[in-house]
Amino acid sequence: ETGVTQTPRHLVMGMTNKKSLKCEQHLGHNAMYWYKQSAKKPLELMFVYNFKEQTENNSVPSRFSPECPNSSHLFLHLHTLQPEDSALYLCASSQDRGQGASGYTFGSGTRLTVV
């Protein structure tokens, strides 16, 4: 356990389904992030929340919709996804700028398969 918990660990969904990914941290961090990890590609930043406010949307398609109800919880709502959206979705949190002695704390991710 890293202190950042993601559920579910695995998800298979059809292109017409609606599902949500959940991320929870109780580390007292004030920033939370969604990253997408595809095979042999860099981690791609999707969304950033700082003190519950979205500070960055990295040109992500609207079929991905984030929600941050409080500084401990982060959701990623999914609808009408495409097969190329199949990937590992990682949540992370950090205190302040996430550099220095502590860095980011990542969850173990949700392995998403779109069929």
Partner 1 sequence: GQSLEQPSEVTAVEGAIVQINCTYQTSGFYGLSWYQQHDGGAPTFLSYNALDGLEETGRFSSFLSRSDSYGYLLLQELQMKDSASYFCAVRGQRDSSYTLIFGSGTRLLVRP
CA distance 52 to 107: 18
Is 87 a residue that touches partner 1 (CB under 8 A)?
no
In the complex with partner 1, the residue whose CB is nearer, 82 or 102, is: 102
In the complex with partner 1, the residue whose CB is nearer, 8 or 14, is: 8
The values of phi and psi at residue 53, to 5°, are -100, 135
Q: How far is the CB of 107 from partner 1 (least distance, A)?
A: 6
Is 7 a residue that touches partner 1 (CB under 8 A)?
no
CA-only gyration radius of the chain, Å: 13
User: Which is nearest to 85 in space by CA: 7, 23, 11?
Assistant: 11
Taking the mean position of all CA atoms in its chain, how far away is CA 98?
16
Q: Which residues bind partner 1 (CB under 8 A)?
A: 2, 4, 31, 33, 40-43, 45, 48, 50, 55-56, 90, 92, 94, 96-109
